[in-house]
Structure 1
Amino acid sequence: MDFQTEPIIHVQEAGIFQGLDAVLTNVTFSIEKKEFVFLIGRTGSGKSSLLKTLYADLPLKMGQAEIVGFDLSKIKTKEVPFLRRKLGIVFQDFQLFPDRSVAENLFFVMKATGWKDKSKMKNRMAEVLMQVGLADAASKMPHQLSGGEQQRVVIARALINDPEILLADEPTGNLDPDVADGVFKLFQEINKQGTAILMATHNHDLLRKYPYRVLKCERGQLLDSKTSDISINTSY
Structure 2
Amino acid sequence: MVFSNEPVVSVQQACIFQGINTILKDVTFTIEKDEFVFLIGRTGSGKSSLLKTLYADLPLIMGQARVAGYSIDKLKKKEIPYLRRKLGIVFQDFQLFPDRTVAENLYFVLRATGWKDKIKMKNRMIEVLMGVGLGGAASKMPHQLSGGEQQRVVVARALLNEPSILLADEPTGNLDPEVADGIFHLFQEINKKGTAILMATHNYELLKKHPYRILKCENARVLDSKTTTISLGNTGI
1:76 corresponding residue in structure 2:
76
The aligned length equals: 235
**Amino acid aligned to 1:111:** R
1:201 corresponding residue in structure 2:
201
Residues 167-215 of structure 1, C-alpha deviation per residue, up to 9 Å, x if partnerless?
Answer: 0000000000000000000000000001000000000010000000000
SS at match of 1:15: strand
1:135 corresponding residue in structure 2:
135
TM (norm. structure 2) is 0.98
Give yes or no for the alignment of 1:53 onto 2:53: yes
1:6 corresponding residue in structure 2:
6
Measure the CA separation in 2 of the matches of 1:162 and 1:230.
Answer: 32
SS at match of 1:29: strand
Measure the CA separation in 2 of the matches of 1:24 and 1:3.
Answer: 28
Percent identical among aligned pairs is 74
**Amino acid aligned to 2:12:** Q
Q: Which runs of 4+ in 1 moved over 6 A?
A: none
2:22 corresponding residue in structure 1:
22
Residues 31-78 of structure 1, C-alpha deviation per residue, up to 9 Å, x if partnerless?
Answer: 001100000000000000000000000000110000011111110010
Shift of residue 234, structure 1, vs aligned partner: 1.6
Shift of residue 4, structure 1, vs aligned partner: 2.3
Residues 151-171 of structure 1, C-alpha deviation per residue, up to 9 Å, x if partnerless?
Answer: 000000000000010000000
Measure the CA separation in 2 of the matches of 1:209 and 1:171.
Answer: 17
Structure 1 runs not aligned, ≥5 long: none
Shift of residue 222, structure 1, vs aligned partner: 0.3
SS at match of 1:174: coil
SS at match of 1:73: helix
Shift of residue 5, structure 1, vs aligned partner: 2.2
1:167 corresponding residue in structure 2:
167
Measure the CA separation in 2 of the matches of 1:135 and 1:194.
Answer: 22
Q: CA RMSD in A?
A: 0.9
Measure the CA separation in 1 of the matches of 2:163 and 2:3.
Answer: 17
SS at match of 1:4: coil
2:43 corresponding residue in structure 1:
43
2:125 corresponding residue in structure 1:
125
Structure 2 runs not aligned, ≥5 long: none
